[in-house]
Amino acid sequence: MLIVDVRDLDKMERTIRWIEIALIIGKNLVFIIAAFVGISFMIAIYNSLVGNIVGSIISLAFGAAGLVFFAQVRQTRRRHYRRRVKYQETRQQKYREVASA
C-alpha cells in the first residue's frame, strides 16, 4: 500500500495551482500586453499635457517596445496555429485513406 505524506500532497496542489495560473496568463497574454501598451501611451499623453517631456519620452519608449513585443507574440501564435492546423489536416487525410481502403 502506498502512503503519501500530506505535505507532499499540499506541494503538488500548489504546483498545480501555479500551472493553472500560468496557463490562464498564457491564454490572455495578448490582451494583457495590449492593456499595458494602452496604459503606457495614456501616461505618455498625460505627461506631455502636464509638461513633463522626459516622462513622456520614457513612456513612449515603453509603449513602442510593448507594441513590438505585442507584434512578436501575435506572429508566433499565428505560426504555431498554422502548424497545428496543418498537422491536423495531414492526420485526418491518413485516417481517410485508411478508411477508404
| In-domain check, residue 3 | no
| In-domain check, residue 56 | yes
Alpha helices in 1-101 (DSSP H): 6-27, 29-50, 53-100
pLDDT score, position 101: 58
| In-domain check, residue 54 | yes
Cα 63 to Cα 66: distance, rounded to the nearest angstrom: 5
| In-domain check, residue 74 | yes
| In-domain check, residue 24 | yes
Q: What is the pLDDT of residues 77-97, one digit of tens each?
A: 777 777 777 777 777 776 666
**Structural domains counted in the chain:** 1
| In-domain check, residue 69 | yes
Whether 79 and 61 have beta carbons less than 8 Å apart is answered as no
What cell does 37 get?
501598451
Q: What is the pLDDT of residues 22-77, one digit of tens each?
A: 999 988 888 999 999 999 999 999 999 999 999 999 999 999 999 999 989 888 87
Whether 37 and 70 have beta carbons less than 8 Å apart is answered as yes
Q: Domain span at residue 28? A: 8-100
| In-domain check, residue 2 | no
- Regarding pTM above 0.85, the answer is no
Q: Which amino acid is at 62?
A: F
